[in-house]
Structure 1
Amino acid sequence: MPLTLSTEHLEVVLEAVNDAAAAAPAAAADRPVRSDALDALGVAPSYLAACGFDGAVGATSLLPSPGGAVDGAVPIAVGLGSERLTAADVRKAAASLWRSASKVDSLVSTLPTAAAADLGADGALSAVVEGMLLASYRFDEYKGEPAEADPLKRIVLAVPEGTDTAAALDRAAAVAGGIALARDLVNQPAGALTAAGLAAAAVEAVDAARASSNPKAGSASAEVWDRDRLVTERCGGLLGVNAGSTEPPALVRLRWQPTAEPRAAIQLVGKGITFDTGGLNLKSFEGMEWMKIDMGGAAAVIGAMSAVIRLAPDVAVTGICCCTDNQPGPTATKPGDVLHIRNGTTVEVLNTDAEGRLVLADGLSLAVEEAPDLVIDLATLTGACMVALGEKYAGLMGNDEAAIERAQAAGRAAGELLWHLPLPPEYREQLDSPIADLRNIGKNRYGGALHAGLFLSEFVGDTPWLHLDIAGPVRTDADAGEASKGATGFGVRTLVELICGW
């Protein structure tokens, strides 16, 4: 029975073929490019070399139809490299295959079979489907004439005997759906996605995930704190950043609670600045151009919570999103003002463009009150992190070595690049204020990403905590692997790997 896999961006029919011979008409379409496969492809190595095809992971090349091809099928060679395959390799290869085949109406692929030896049958199928789904992503909501849909409507995947097809497809759909949701939110224009709109999208995502999950596995819920509730709850950081805006702020708390005794309790905190002008410390045009992405941390938390609810791990997870824009209105927080954070800490605001750490301070204070096993915050926090690490790496900081190792392992499994940065105690004096407990920026322009991490560490105490500065990889300027130009959904897969693999 064919399985219909649907997301907002793609609807295809996938048939898991438990015998690779059943896919014989196009079995050569995407075998790994290794020397022992060239004869089976019926292609001389010199032909591949002449095509500039080196077999690198994700490389593709159209090949002459071998003898016996049926219905004019055109084989596609897909490179899998020469090393042991990772899930990231297979997603990249599957995405390349999807793009190469996107102008035909059906595809038969043996890629899951080729990858099964390294990833296991279920893992290989899940990686292939996830890569294809994410490569198909489009954001054309505001196009007068949206691009024509790819004609590819039917995919037949050959998998080894015993593959748990349903579980593999469910996982791929959950993770790809969470990443696509995060991409959608970050790609939205700021004028269309206010703080209230972001909060509503989070609630809607939980409702949709809950409707498609097993109710016996656990329960999911969402609550939104409006301005009055934020005042009552003493969230002075979020209120202070919102002071110049005509749009009300919101704090969203999303929960997954398993029915079984949870193995751990994890709190996620996301920066949700729907547009950052810099406040009264106004950004330049160049600095403001892409500031609709400044809620990428909250988008990753929402996407991850959507996936977690669908996957139903026996880990209790709470997602907190601190949502507002940062505007230079007449009532805006001024340089030199002092804000009172939820945990009682006072902060002298010396740069209103260092606002993300102020809203996260409230979110982190709230998160640690429940004594979780781990708190993780995600934020497009500093340009300084991009200066240090470029656009592909996220900065990883934390106060717990075991948690850092967990995050690094999850990032490797997710194929998301993380680089561990220090929290040097020698720099803590940079945050000393003569009139408050802290200042929100360092006293010089060096080490800005580290100063921000040290600032956040003041609000978690001894609770194990990780900080991911995703300012660089939150978006890409070109299609790359399973990523499409625009928002990447970075962080969703790492969070899911860390939580489900706890």
Structure 2
Amino acid sequence: MNRVVVRGVAEDDARPGAWDARAAAGFTGALGQSRVEQHGDEVVALAGLGRRSQRGTTALRRAAATVARSFHAVEDLVMDVDLASFGASSTAEVAAVAEGIAWGGYRFRMTGAESYTSGTHAAIPRAHGAADLEREGWARGEALGAAVNLARDLVNLPPSVLTPCAFAERAAGLLRSRGLRVRIVRSDELRDGGYGGIVAIGQGSTNPPALLEVEAGEGPPELALVGKGVTFDSGGLSLKPAPAQMAMKSDMAGAAAVVGALSLLPTLARGRSVVGVIPLVENLPGPGSVRPGDVVRLRDGATLEILDTDFEGRVILADALSRAAEFGPETIIDIASLTYAAQHALGDDFGALVANDDALAARVEQAGARSGDRVWRMPLQPELEAQIRSDVADYKNFPGVASARVSSAALLLSRFVGGIPWAHVDMAGPAFRPTADAGGAAGGTGYGVRLLAELIAQSRTTAVATNSTR
């Protein structure tokens, strides 16, 4: 078993005798740097923290991830983490270090057509000071890290393995083992239940669609989570060009984030009343594919003209949001890799946030800042009504113009939440990395798990207090 001691070093720390050698090698303690040294019988890995005066959970998470990533090729590694050197003095800061180690050490590899290995480095905190705080924070961080990596596994699996029903069954087994109530609604029942959008998008594939419903707690739910689950998106008959299909196994990253977050309920928020609704389809061209110009009837009774089959996410989310509203939640949040426009506007590090309620939008923004899954609010624009209205049906799925597509997609979705406070997170940018970087492996990022977990863990009274003090 390989073992390494991990210590944090800041740019503004006092310089020890070994600093000259570090500086000569270019190590200054800047955030995102790492260095490995031999100290007697110990291998020591140094994580650059930046300036301690600017330390926060996001910086601690990134520093820990970077140093863990530097050992990504080492098997059977235990990272002995000196929390004192990181300056982690709160539960949230300790959790951020543990999360970062789990994130940076993650690796995923297919070992056969349907078999794979995944995991991360084992890590233990080197105890100091407030042991109870450390135990609580470390346990929270490990749980969050495991949930994020669970979502990454789901995104990284080949679409031939993770078909809609395979996703539903895999997620159901996991969530039932955590004590949650799970129901899989399959193809015939979807048709009989009026889920015309889900059925239409899924009917081109030989792998049938499904809807996953998850319930925790009793009574009307405080929160409903909806995650887009397109296990592979070819664009349907409105076929994507080949380069655009290469990462389309990740079009179920929203669904994966919801599963990851719900898996944390027993750990972070036992007893909370939460529901999850996850539509699962494979969008392929085939003899039964929905055609541009077809009209479908949705779960809430509205009709929708499908003009572009590559704008499928809003079609299945319309049905899923209607179903979520039927549970009578206080709040609905959906998360989806929905539009290229969100990535073009915000890049790879922010999700686009659109909401029909200012207080809820503030909560999501604050949860994003605390969790590291950051969002940036964009407008819900009623003046775009003409872009979602059809001449032959109630709505259309294609706006007809290239501008404001984040807002026009959200405006359509807003019609299916029944007036309930609702927030939409378009994660097209941060959901997937085509190449590895210093902080993490290529593939699924697990974006959204920490954001949703933060929102789940908030009580209503905590959320109100937080909003009133910021």
TM-score (normalised: structure 1): 0.84
SS in 2 for 1:442: coil
- Distance in 1, matches of 2:117 and 2:155, equals 20
How far is 1:314 from its partner? 4.5
- Distance in 1, matches of 2:196 and 2:445, equals 31
RMSD, aligned CA: 2.7
User: Is 1:32–2:32 an aligned residue pair?
Assistant: no
**1:320–1:51 Cα change, 3 Å:** same
**1:124–1:176 Cα change, 3 Å:** same
Aligned to 2:204: 244
SS in 2 for 1:37: coil
Give the counterpart of 2:81 among 109, 134, 137. Answer: 109
User: Is 1:197–2:166 an aligned residue pair?
Assistant: yes
Aligned to 1:213: none
Is the contact made by 2:295 and 2:393 (CA closer than 8 Å) also made in structure 1? Answer: yes
Q: Deviations over 1:373-427 (max 9, x none)?
A: 1101111111122222222221111101111111111111111221111111111
SS in 2 for 1:472: coil
Aligned to 2:463: none
Is the contact made by 1:421 and 1:450 (CA closer than 8 Å) also made in structure 2? Answer: yes
Give the counterpart of 1:128 among 97, 114, 118. Answer: 97
Letter in 1 for 2:93: A
User: Is 1:167–2:136 an aligned residue pair?
Assistant: yes
Aligned to 1:177: 146
How far is 1:239 from its partner? 0.7
* Larger CA Rg, structure 1 vs 2: 1
How far is 1:54 from its partner? 2.9
How far is 1:146 from its partner? 8.4
Is the contact made by 1:190 and 1:292 (CA closer than 8 Å) also made in structure 2? Answer: yes
5+ long unaligned stretches in structure 1: 1-10, 14-24, 211-219
**1:481–1:495 Cα change, 3 Å:** farther
Aligned to 1:55: 29
Aligned to 2:17: 42
How far is 1:200 from its partner? 0.4
Q: Deviations over 1:342-363 (max 9, x none)?
A: 1111111111111110100010
- Distance in 2, matches of 1:31 and 1:396, equals 34
Aligned to 2:352: 395
- The sequence identity of aligned pairs, in percent, is 36
SS in 2 for 1:411: helix
User: Is 1:138–2:111 an aligned residue pair?
Assistant: no
User: Is 1:492–2:466 an aligned residue pair?
Assistant: no
Q: Deviations over 1:2-54 (max 9, x none)?
A: xxxxxxxxx999xxxxxxxxxxx97xx6243244432xx3234x544322223
Size of the aligned set, in residue pairs, is 455
How far is 1:297 from its partner? 0.9
Letter in 2 for 1:489: G
- Distance in 2, matches of 1:396 and 1:154, equals 34
User: Is 1:227–2:199 an aligned residue pair?
Assistant: no
- Distance in 2, matches of 1:269 and 1:112, equals 39
How far is 1:142 from its partner? 3.1
Give the counterpart of 2:67 among 97, 121, 131. Answer: 97
Is the contact made by 1:12 and 1:154 (CA closer than 8 Å) also made in structure 2? Answer: no
Letter in 2 for 1:91: R
How far is 1:324 from its partner? 0.9
Aligned to 2:322: 365
- Distance in 2, matches of 1:294 and 1:452, equals 16
**1:70–1:148 Cα change, 3 Å:** farther
SS in 2 for 1:163: helix
User: Is 1:384–2:361 an aligned residue pair?
Assistant: no
Letter in 2 for 1:492: V
TM-score (normalised: structure 2): 0.89
How far is 1:92 from its partner? 1.6
**1:330–1:338 Cα change, 3 Å:** same
Give the counterpart of 1:86 among 56, 59, 66. Answer: 56
How far is 1:313 from its partner? 4.0
Alignment of 1:449-488 (within 5 A): 449-480=406-437, 483-488=440-445
Aligned to 2:227: 270
User: Is 1:255–2:225 an aligned residue pair?
Assistant: no
SS in 2 for 1:139: strand
How far is 1:70 from its partner? 4.3
How far is 1:372 from its partner? 1.1
- Distance in 2, matches of 1:428 and 1:344, equals 19
- Distance in 2, matches of 1:326 and 1:147, equals 27
